[in-house]
Amino acid sequence: MKFSENWLRSWVNPALSSDELGHVLTMAGLEVEGMEAVAPAFNNVVVAEVIEVVKHPNADRLNVCQVNVGEASPLTIVCGAANVAVGVKVPCARIGALLPGDFAIKQAKVRNVESFGMLCSEKELGLAEDSQGLWLLPSDAPVGKTLREYLELDDQLFTLKLTPNRSDCSGMVGIAREVSALTGSALQPLNIAEQPVTLAEQWPVNVADAQACPLYCGRLVRGVNAAAVTPTWMLRRLERSGLRGISAVVDITNYVMLEMGQPLHAFDVAKLSGGITVRKARNAEELILLNEQTVKLDEEVLVIADDARVLALAGIMGGQGSGVETTTQDVFLESAFFHPDAIAGRARRFGLATDSSFRFERGVDFAATRQALERATQLLLEICGGCVGAITEVRGQMPKREPIALRRSRVARVLGISLDNDQIADLFTRLQFEFTANSPLPNPPPMPSPQSSPASGRGGEREKQSSIPAGEGAVAASARHLLDDDYRVTPPSFRFDLSIESDLIEELARLYGYDNIPAQAPQAALTMLPYSELQRPLARIQQILVARDYQEIVSYAVVDAQVERELCGNENPVALQNPIASNLAVMRSSLIGGLVGALRFNLNRKQARVRLFEAGACFARANAKENNGYAQSQRLSGLAYGAVQPEQWGGAANPVDFYDVKADVEALFAPQPLRFVAATHPALHPGRTAQIFCGEQMVGWLGELHPHWQQQYDMAQAAVWFEIELGALTATTVPRMTEIAKFLPVRRDLAVLVDETVAAQALLDAMRGASAPGVIEVALFDVYRGKGVEQGKKSLAFRVLLQDTEKTLTDSEIEPSIALLVDVMQQQGAQLRM
């Protein structure tokens, strides 16, 4: 990428010399491969007008000229150029001027005529290798103005060696944006006004391959003067960027490409047969390109075509048969976003390397596609005139810019320096990144910001509570005093190279300045951390759920107040004083809202089997004397929907039910036994809901989603949800050794009749609480209703195992224990079945 420093400084003008600016760009990853002056050093050369030409009295090939250099009286200069004439404006080196080659201009006598300067050619000024006569300047050149100022010759040409990931700097907008971010200098925005429509006509456009061309914008302009002269300022910028002037229309499209990084193309409407179609080429189609090269196409090449033929290689080069000429009157301007995968490698296949393909195969800013067309239209009307039609836009699925999580702790670990929240927010703002961070809290002690450089420069994701969009005046103020961790940064449309946390850390390092990062020897300490056998790490619990086919989600801790009322029965949730949105106004008291939202998200994307879990904090009101009236607890919650097993041929696709998820919950607590007690919950089915008890402590809920919410959230079947206090899950006991019995256990089965209202768990608790001698296990193995059992009753069958580690139990030892169990069941209203 080659560009003029003066052009860059019209966008952003940092207080840096050319060399300092080159160093800043190189250290930021935009390597300055070359830097050269536009013109060699010379001075005291001004724009002059020849007002009189007479033959030299003593020489046939010399003229004595009277030259106006902007002073009260003209200068007499002897000149031998054949093209000197009255009225021409030429460079004039005055006495004392020093030209290239250390050629000094002095007052001289030429054939007895005094000469007070020299009229110059381009070669004499070091601006051309050869020249024919004097350098004739435009007629509107201001007399007396220094030539260097008039032609902006005090300019440097920068050549950047762009890496493939920095396609955003393939236009002056991107380079200026980068310099502004690196130096903190103000960026002058490009004023692109929407052009008024003066033509009630649009050219038809059809995009047959929306994946390869997600966005196509076109505009018809009639009555243009394609023979108009390209302005000098535009030609100068084009030439200093390595492009030659061709014609006004083509120069405009090239200029906008250099300015905004968006390639454009202009078609001669008179050469089109029907509407524009973006499609894949057909095998054996041919196209003569603008460079007169004939290429044979196939179905892997994206082309622009009309109803009759191929017009151009999309994103690479136009065809000769539809190009704009000086006689063109009507043009169709094209500005499109072609997916990089559709362009990459196609130009090299045909031995081409064009400015257009260079940009498209790396990715252009799809948010600026329409703006570039408006800019080209604006310049076209100013230079060539014409009547403008409305923009025809065909838009498909645009690339998604997924947020990236950033941890301050990770930044410090990778870079070896501590950037406080103010610094990070400032750097992201200067990069024009949209980012979110946690709610305002006092900053940690700030690290002194560097003074020497001009470039001041996933794990645990937390819920965003304040949003900081880039490019607004209030950004810096609103970003102050952020929490120590966690940002979620959305890459802008012009940065295709940002996708992971390390990319963001690299951006912070670039702007902070690599020179400002101290070279420190790595230090580390190895210490053995205490590990309690009474606590299980959360990671082990998460692994159990993952092994049982659950996937972890992270949802916001702020939810809609309606969700709290409906699913949690919470009429008085903890409300935020300054919510970022009306649907994120209260703190969650349960994780069910985020799980249901994630389930709906997956169902809308045709996921038939979904198993999700989340571990996070929940908030509720508490005693005002404790924690400012708020309570916070850590919970683990899960949701299962769809079939019990993934689709397979070995069994029927049975829907997940209460008992399937109950088994998952029991696996989390194993080997600790659980009790499930029927209860009601506002979010759950009244007959399929239970409280979970571990010992005497109620630790959570389990149940099917209520049919009302199932219908409201458009679920084809019921989802089963559980939520558990995380403290109860992580607490465990130290294993104890027990002697393995050498004698076989004895089994006795007890069948009893009880009322339907009697819970089997009540009988189990009673028998286990009796501590009958020799009994090692009591379990329910059958429930029967039907013939032989009167209505309103049910038969429960229990398995009782008895064992002694020292001997084989006899009937005389077994019967008292069984009698004790029968007695405690009879106390619960049970009747022994014979």
Per residue in 223-252, pLDDT (tens digit) is 999 999 999 999 999 999 999 999 999 999
For the beta carbon of residue 351, count every other beta carbon within 10 angstroms. 8
Specify the pTM: 0.59
- Mean pLDDT within 161-165: 89
Q: How far apart are CA 242 and CA 235, in angstroms?
A: 11
> Which of 678, 698, 704 minimizes the C-alpha distance to 758?
678
The mean pLDDT value for 717-742 works out to 89
Mean pLDDT of 708-735: 91
* pLDDT higher than 70, residue 485: no
Contacts of 669 (CB under 8 A, 6+ apart): 694, 728, 729
Least Cα distance to 682 among 554, 555, 560, 590 occurs for 590
Position 737 confidence tier, pLDDT thresholds 50, 70, 90: confident
Residue 376 reports pLDDT greater than 90: yes
User: What local confidence, expressed as pLDDT, does residue 480 receive?
Assistant: 40
pLDDT at 444: 42
- pLDDT at residue 616 above 70? yes
Residue 560, pLDDT above cutoff 50: yes
284-290 contacts at long range (C-beta below 8 A, 24 or more positions apart): 285/310, 286/310, 287/311, 287/312, 287/313, 287/319, 288/319, 288/320, 288/321, 289/313, 289/317, 289/318, 289/319, 289/320, 289/352, 290/317, 290/318, 290/319, 290/320, 290/323
The amino acid sitting at 805 is: T
Beta bridge partners of 278: 207, 304
527 pLDDT band, cuts 50/70/90, is confident
Q: pLDDT (tens digit, 9 = 90+) per residue, 87-139?
A: 999 999 999 999 998 899 999 888 888 999 999 999 999 988 888 899 999 98
Nearest to 658 by CA among 621, 632, 686, 631: 686
Q: What interhelical angle do 592-603 and 561-568 show, nearest 10? A: 100
pLDDT band at 834 (very low <50, low <70, confident <90, very high): confident
**Which has the higher per-residue pLDDT, 695 or 546?**
546
Q: Tell me what percent of the residues of the chain surpass a pLDDT of 70.
A: 94
**Residues forming a β-bridge with 596:** none
Rounded CA separation 478/587 (Å): 21
| Residue 172 CB contacts under 8 Å (≥ 6 apart), including other chains | 3, 7, 8, 11, 258, 259, 260, 261
- Of 473, 505, 507, 504, residue with least CA distance to 490: 504
pLDDT average, residue stretch 405-431: 89
Which pLDDT tens digit goes with each residue over 134-143? Answer: 999 998 999 9
Q: Which helix (H) or strand (E) holds 820?
A: helix 811-827
Q: What is the pLDDT of residue 515?
A: 87
The SS3 call for residue 659 is helix
pLDDT band at 486 (very low <50, low <70, confident <90, very high): confident
Distance of CA 144 to the CA centre of its chain: 53
Residue-by-residue DSSP string for 20-80: HHHHHHHHTT-EEEEEEESS----SEEEEEEEEEEE-TT-TT-EEEEEE-SSSSPEEEEE-
Closest by Cα among 90, 109, 98 to 48: 90
pLDDT band at 625 (very low <50, low <70, confident <90, very high): low
Residues in contact with 529: Cβ distance below 8 Å, sequence separation at least 6, in sequence order? none
By the 10 Å C-beta count (0-12 exposed, 13-18 middle, 19+ buried), 574 is classed as buried
The whole-number pLDDT of residue 628 equals 74
Any idea how long the chain is? 834
Report how far residue 612's alpha carbon sits from residue 639's, in angstroms, rounded to the nearest whole number: 5
What is residue 175's predicted lDDT score, i.e. its pLDDT?
A: 93
Sign of the alpha-carbon dihedral angle for 223, 228, 231, 236: positive
Integer angstrom CA distances of residue 811 from 350, 802, 808, 816, 818: 96, 11, 10, 9, 10
The sign of the dihedral angle between the CA atoms of 294, 296, 300, 303 is positive
> Could you tell me whether strands 63-68 and 775-784 are parallel, antiparallel, or unpaired per DSSP bridges?
unpaired
Q: Are 234 and 251 in contact (CB under 8 A)?
A: yes
Please determine, for residue 733, whether its predicted confidence score (pLDDT) is greater than 60: yes
Beta bridge partners of residue 219, listed in sequence order: 333
Average model confidence (pLDDT) across the chain: 88
Residue 347: strand, helix, or coil: helix
Question: How far apart (Å, rounded) are the C-alpha atoms in residues 76 and 258?
Answer: 44
Q: Residues of 731-740 as b/e, b for ≥16 C-beta within 10 angstroms?
A: eeeeeeeeee
Contacts of 584 (CB under 8 A, 6+ apart): 556, 558, 559, 560, 576
What is the reported pLDDT for 796? 94
Q: How confident is the model at residue 182 (pLDDT cuts 50, 70, 90)?
A: very high
What is the pLDDT, as a whole number, of residue 577?
86
